Chains A and B, each alone.
Chain A
Amino acid sequence: MAATATAPGAPTSRLGKAATEFDDRLIVAGPVRRTLNKVFPDHWSFLLGEIALYCFILLLLSGTYLTFFFDATMTEVVYDGEYDPLRGTDMSAAYASALDLSFDVRGGLFMRQMHHWAALLFVAAIVVHLLRIFFTGAFRRPRESNWLIGVVMLVLSLLMGVTGYTLPDDLLSGTGLRIISAILLSIPVIGTWVHFAIFNGDFVGEEIIGRFYIAHVLIFPAILLALIAVHLLILVKQKHTQFPGPGRTEHNVVGNRLFPTFAGKATGLLLVVFGVCAALAGLVQINPVWLWGPYNPAQVSAASQPDWYILFLDGSTRIFPAWDINLPGDYTIPALFWPTVVVAGAMFTVLALYPMIERKLTGDTAAHHLLQRPRDVPVRTSLGVMALTFYLVLVISGSNDVIADKFTISLNAMTWFGRIGVIVFPAIAYMITYRICLGLQQHDREVLEHGIETGVIRRLPHGEFIEVHQPLGPVDEHGHGQLAYGGAPVPKRMNQVGGARRAIRGFFTPIEQPSAVELEQQGEGRGLAAGEAARELTSSGRPSDGGRPSDGGRPQDTRD
């Protein structure tokens, strides 16, 4: 360095020089440093949305591959491919190309199944991500806009699923398309007009596969892509929420910087998501369209069911009573309209508006960056579980014929189970969840006041037996803890506050010096080793009381 004649601090390595050349032109060093330094909170539940994102990437890649071979037309062709049982059968070009993808394209079946599995995981990841956001209150101001965008993306992903499911034009998807057609027809006043606009005439026509195709591969993905970009930009701008804990406030984010820790973990997750989808794609068969045969309006197979994310609508349709509304003038509102358009519309509207509804009811208009534990907001948690129960009863009803068949229950009994259950179970679920939340809250307070149950029974001089409790912090003259509840998990087992030494690492033989571990533990000022001299444990495990800040200050975590 000293020998060179360059300016102080100028790079000497090739890479450094290249980076300087790059920055001379684009001036990105500042923004790049800010990006690399961005802090991400470290909690597993924050990775659920990422799973959805990675599934979407996989869907784009595998879907693009499928378009190279798929022929989205309904031209009648005679199948002449590799699959013997259907050779010579009349079918649409769409179905024939789906068969070719499965039998004549090397690895095509693998890609088709990967696309299908990734789609199922995509919607599942979105739903689980949504539940995390809901139950922890992450949708509260200032994040209502991102909640709304998320709900729109969920609806779009369902539409993506429905249109994609229809494309192969096999018997099962054709039956689904027929039901979609009936749902469109059931809309009051404009139903037939909407149907004729979308199908270009009566069911089934020649256009619908081509139209669904362009919606599936261009229109919906383009909107979804744009919304994902906005979703992430808002997320970066607003920064992450985090669970309460020592050192965590409404005005900071505690965690890992993007580079290298978070980037490493996120890329690892991406690879694992890809790996799981690829393994499922090869090892677990999904939607074997060649077994269903080409669509024929006069045929259907028993146990016709949609993919899981549409099951709830199928279930609501199955259990809704036969209630046509006949209006004067011989107009009818078909029964089918209510469990499909109205139920789905109402569910997603309530979902989208929930942040506003809660804000109105609680009057809480403040900005929140710290998450809530579900037990601390019993009403919201109970409402969520109630909605979830409603949804689950619909999902179960969506496969009530399979359940009836497998468990030899009367099909009509299953239908009545759904009809009654959809009203009764959510109410019961609300009450039970509410009680559980209150119970958990009280237990937290009890531990804070009286300490952790150690399981150690002591006999007092006058004969009384008591269980020894380990206080979490300083106690008053009555032995009651003085720590207030801060919204963070309260340790409830001795091991969570260092009641046991951590294990010496090494699978077959120890690879650490036991004495070194002992010293390390004493140095941490926490746990048995630290308290070796004075056997009284009074630390709360929080960094402020000498806990390990590397735990992110979360006393519950015992990982090392």
Chain B
Amino acid sequence: MNTHETRPGSAGGSDTPGPLHGGPDEDYTPEQLAAMSREELDILGARYDGVEILHVDPGPEPGSRLEKRAVRQVGWTFAGAGISALLFLVVYAGSGWFLPEWAWAEEGTTWSALFTPLLGLFMGLAFTLAGVGLVLYTKKLLPHETAVQDKHDGSHFDRVTTGATLVGGLHNSGLARRKLLTRSLGFMGAAFGLMLIAPLGGMIKNPNKGNPLGRTNWAEGVRLVRDDGSPIRPGDQQPGSLETVFPAVPGGNRQSDAATMLIRLRPEQVTSDRPREGQADFGYGDYVAYSKICTHAGCPVSLYEQETSRILCPCHQSQFDVTQGAKPVFGPATRSLPQLPITVDDEGYFVARSDYIEAVGPTYWNRERI
């Protein structure tokens, strides 16, 4: 191909415009098109797109009462939308200027309570009215037409010719014969894939190192303190009551697994108390301490019904019986709440005798092993 190529579509230096590129431009000269009305052109174009206009219900007759009414409806709807948008602006910008302050206040002004609802009302009205106006416009003022468009099935010609081009390219590459190339390409692809996902390795952490899942901040001699840090003596609680306690270490009350329920049993609960095997001495007097973290999905079990001795988890309604070693008696939980061995120190405050002897919180694959 030389630079003086003047055939259609070439980049050569021809001064004359290229010929029309086939199709309708050859069937219809500009003169013919200029002689056609707008409606005819519309239908002609549609036909080239495989669309046939079957039927047109014209809109309301110009000047008729029907039209006037529809125009009035649509017009007022749009005007209402505009007014609502302006009112939104007035509320948004005017609050704290010529309207009362919008910000929340403890005593609660009427306007601060109305601010957000008014914003919603006016923006909602603005958008909805604009939408309704547009739908009314389409339904009442535009002609209703019924059009049919053809669906084209796949073309056999296209399939065969495209297939030939694809297969031809593949054939020319010779990959089918050149086994060394395919193998090295496969190897390269696999290695690249591994290389590209390798940086995600930075996210991997060993969950079994140092047993983070099985340990809490409780340890021998750590005091049981309330959320505000005050220690607890036997006798501080009424029989039948429950208090949430944390280990007396810095940030102990924010530890996700350390929260513990210190429960003082009622006398009749003490007599019916059947602790888990080997844990009979974990309590202190009529006090028992159980982990507050549900063994099912880790929610804090918080609802203690002392008449039935049951603790209910509000997330999935597992129920644990505190007089049976906090054994699950209903719901999806499978394991008892772990019990914290407690005693009192020299000053008479509750302390832990050790960490929990099992992992606290939800069950996982190798929980029994670590």
> A interface vs B, CB < 8 Å?
7-9, 33-34, 37-39, 82-85, 103-104, 106-107, 109-110, 113, 175, 178-179, 181-183, 185-193, 195-198, 200-204, 239, 247, 250-257, 260-261, 264-265, 267-283, 296-304, 314, 317-324, 326, 329-336, 339, 369, 400-401, 411-412, 415, 505-506, 511-512, 549-550, 552-553
Contact = CB atoms under 8 A, between A and B. Distances in A.
Contacts of B151: 239, 250-253, 369
A200 B205 contact: yes
Contacts of B127: 271-272, 274-275, 278
Nearest to A325: B334
B131 A269 contact: yes
Contacts of B316: 314, 317-318
Nearest to A338: B332
B128 A271 contact: yes
Interface stretch (B269-277, B281-289, B290-298, B345-353): B290-298
B344 interface: no
A283 B117 contact: yes
Contact of B149 (A83, A103, A253): A253
Contacts of B369: 329-331
A2 B350 CA distance: 105
B307 to A, nearest CB: 15
B351 to A, nearest CB: 19
Given A254-B146, A511-B66, 6 more contacts: A104-B103, A239-B151, A254-B54, A261-B144, A267-B131, A401-B314
Interface stretch (B172-180, B186-194, B357-365): B357-365
Contacts of B315: 175, 179, 300, 304, 314
16 contacts: A110-B119, A179-B298, A190-B365, A202-B256, A202-B257, A247-B54, A256-B144, A275-B129, A275-B131, A281-B124, A300-B315, A302-B303, A314-B315, A318-B332, A322-B332, A549-B146
Contact of A200 (B203, B206, B254): B203
A278 B135 contact: no
A296 B300 CA distance: 9
Nearest to A285: B116
B366 A192 contact: yes
A178 B297 contact: yes
Contacts of A276: 124, 128
A412 B330 contact: yes
Interface residues of B, number: 100
A268 B134 contact: yes
Contact of B365 (A84, A260, A331): A331
A196 to B, nearest CB: 4
Contacts of A33: 45, 48-49
A265 B131 CA distance: 8
A329 B365 CA distance: 11
B44 to A, nearest CB: 10
Interface stretch (B5-13, B30-38, B163-171, B217-225): B30-38
A113 B318 CA distance: 33
A28 to B, nearest CB: 14
A271 B131 contact: yes
Contacts of A296: 254
A282 B120 contact: yes
Contact of B116 (A113, A301, A512): A113
Contacts of B119: 107, 110, 282
B46 A251 contact: no
A254 B330 contact: no
Contacts of B126: 275, 278
B291 to A, nearest CB: 11
Contacts of B246: 298
Interface string B93-122: 001000000111010000000001111110
A347 to B, nearest CB: 18
A252 B148 contact: yes
B30 A7 contact: yes
B299 interface: yes
B213 interface: yes
Contacts of A203: 256-257, 298, 361
B314 A103 contact: no
A560 to B, nearest CB: 10
B150 interface: yes
Contacts of B330: 412, 415
Contact of A254 (B147, B302, B312, B335): B147
Contacts of A302: 302-303, 314
Contacts of A9: 30-31, 33-34
Contacts of A39: 51, 147-149
A193 to B, nearest CB: 6
Given A9-B34, A322-B328, A196 B205 contact: yes
A47 B255 CA distance: 50
B314 A301 contact: yes
Contact of B124 (A84, A275, A415, A552): A275
Contacts of A303: 314
Nearest to A509: B65
Contacts of B332: 317-322, 335-336, 339
Contact of B256 (A250, A255, A297): A297
B147 A256 contact: yes
Contacts of B183: none
A185 B364 contact: yes
B203 A264 contact: no
Interface in B140-170: 142, 144-151, 153
B297 A179 contact: yes
A304 B314 contact: yes
Contact of B138 (A104, A254, A260): A260
Given A107-B119, A331-B365, A260 B142 contact: yes
B125 interface: yes
B4 to A, nearest CB: 25
A300 B293 CA distance: 11
Most buried by B among A110, A202, A275, A506: A275
A272 B146 contact: no
B265 interface: no
A285 to B, nearest CB: 8
Contacts of A37: 45-46, 49, 51, 147, 149
A188 B366 CA distance: 9
Most buried by B among A39, A270, A330: A39
B333 interface: yes
A332 B368 contact: yes
B71 interface: no
Contacts of B318: 322
B99 to A, nearest CB: 12
Contacts of A196: 204-207
B309 interface: no
Given A268-B135, A278-B120, A282-B119, A298 B334 contact: no
